[in-house]
Chains A and B, each alone.
Chain A
């Protein structure tokens, strides 16, 4: 059990563009942090610097208060789960699990007890004497998890551990990882490019882009108040609609739609407006006075529809900009329709930098997360 402090950490390869620049993250004891971002955003590099597999160009990493910049990976008291499992192919599952403990001169009965414990937790009992090549992908992944668990380390590091699994297995392993981490309470740093994985696993998630942190926050906070257009388009599926608008006083023009915000924003002129597909609703008549109060109504020309079963995604154009609307699958469809979004669900971003302009549209109590509710329930 330990905290991890990442303080102004940068990674520069051979004098080129930095892969990671000045990243600050403070991870509290037992917290599950997910680093998420597109490929090449520096998330794996950051994780590998914490693990000691990459040199730290500048800044410091502390694990449990101890600066580990120049500490060997084996001495950092961390365990890592790799994307391709990285099991030792010439050892049985039992030997794979015991290898790290043996090298730390753990007494034999202790090793056996811990291997048995991990095998029970991960239901690996029947496979202990098999070689990794005789196991399925999911079983190998569990062995990789087991190898981390038996060590009782200060921190778990996960490097895209589920991306080699098929979709169904990924969902069940995701649940398993979350459950195990809750049970052993070990501080965890988890890297993924999958925003869904990030949302479901994280206590807090860190969105990285181009080696920099875009936003750190609890999954729902990030979902409801993305700090930039990048985060807005990366977190949530379908991606948030982002359209160009013009602000004149309290009036907002998006293509053909003119919306009365009833309030002035700290900026004027060009602005990027974001709204989620699921916050949009079809409204009946073209001019429905009641619908206009407290919400923004916009005309939509439907291009095509994706049926997802539980809902349908309607893709269309608003003026010359494309947007997506999520509707219940029994909602009526017409080629021209009016859609509305509550004003409180509009997100405003700087047209140039893409940074979020207004934070007040976030409802104050909404930041209670499912995890908090569970916590209270206990």
Chain B
């Protein structure tokens, strides 16, 4: 690594200052404020607040509605993470194996990622539109009367579908570059040692891809928990009340729609703790089994 000498010891910190300022102002300060306000009962009209200790937390954790949303969030996160990883990997493996015209395949698969997320989300919603959505028509053809926004199950299905669809290109790019970074000779040695391509994949290629997969696991869990907000918002906004939502959406609903700043802050602190614990667990129990080359 290159070592640079600065004439003044303060100069490097000056260079770092803009980045640090952004992090502090937009990440740490809100977090601190959230923790602070989670212990207060805020007046909805901003006329002051009362310290209530852990009342907000108790209120949240004892609410059956919150627990049921938490259950749905867990399921949603698990399904979105699993399917977007699995499909991204499948496509990457298949695209990697294409010999003729592989550049065209890769470009087509990656170009989806170049579409802006809100646009992609909107296109996804269109698939399930009550009047023009092709998927609603396909489902109707098989006798499934899809009512996204009205039926709990149908809405959940559409939400998971769109969330997965949006995330696949991201995973595809990482898996594909991971595959192409594998030394060709190791794959050739495996081709000589093992006849079955599927077995070869699980015994040699996948273990070597594990660092990429682990990184994507963490990114995808975070994506499913937080970044699917837009998808959910488009899908359940202004719809009847009995729709599946995730914890992040609940934070938004209670805080900005319900004006319950304290309760909403408590929820976001709980979410922070959950994500923190989840990440620690992932590093503790999964990363240990990963071989970095």
Contacts and interface: CB of A to CB of B under 8 A. Distances in A.
Given A84-B183, A86-B185, A73 B207 contact: no
Given A99-B203, A103-B196, A103-B199, A88 B190 contact: yes
Interface string A147-162: 1000000000000000
Contacts of A100: 192-194
A124 to B, nearest CB: 17
A74 B195 contact: yes
A10 B89 CA distance: 36
Given A82-B189, A99-B203, A75 B291 contact: no
B207 A90 contact: yes
B188 A86 contact: yes
A89 B192 contact: no
B204 interface: yes
Contacts of A80: 188-189, 192
A86 B183 contact: yes
A84 B185 contact: yes
A131 B210 CA distance: 17
Interface string A99-125: 110010000000000000000000000
Interface residues of B, number: 20
A89 B205 CA distance: 11
A89 B290 CA distance: 11
Contacts of B199: 103
B130 to A, nearest CB: 50
Contact of B195 (A75, A90, A133): A75
B191 interface: yes
Contacts of B208: 89-90
A99 B203 CA distance: 9
A84 B189 CA distance: 11
Contact residues on A (Cβ < 8 Å of other chain), bracket: 20 to 34
Interface string B120-161: 000000000000000000000000000000000000000000
A72 B195 contact: yes
A99 B188 CA distance: 14
B7 interface: no
Contacts, number: 63
Contact of A53 (B188, B207, B293): B188
A355 B96 CA distance: 46
B189 A86 contact: yes
Interface string B183-221: 101101111111110010001100110100000000000
Contacts of B191: 52-53, 72-74
A153 B175 CA distance: 35
Contacts of A82: 185, 188-189
A72 B203 CA distance: 18
Nearest to A153: B192
A100 B203 CA distance: 11
Given A53-B188, A80-B189, A82-B188, A89 B293 contact: yes
B291 A90 contact: yes
Nearest to B192: A73
Contact of A88 (B196, B204, B210): B204
Nearest to A80: B192
A103 B207 contact: no
A179 to B, nearest CB: 23
A74 B193 contact: yes
A78 interface: yes
Interface string A330-367: 00000000000000000000000000000000000000
A195 B203 CA distance: 38
A360 B207 CA distance: 61
Given A74-B193, A80-B188, A90-B291, 7 more contacts: A51-B192, A72-B191, A73-B188, A74-B194, A100-B193, A103-B199, A133-B293
Q: Which 9 A-B pairs have the closest CB atoms?
A: A100-B193, A86-B185, A74-B195, A90-B291, A86-B189, A103-B194, A90-B207, A82-B185, A73-B192
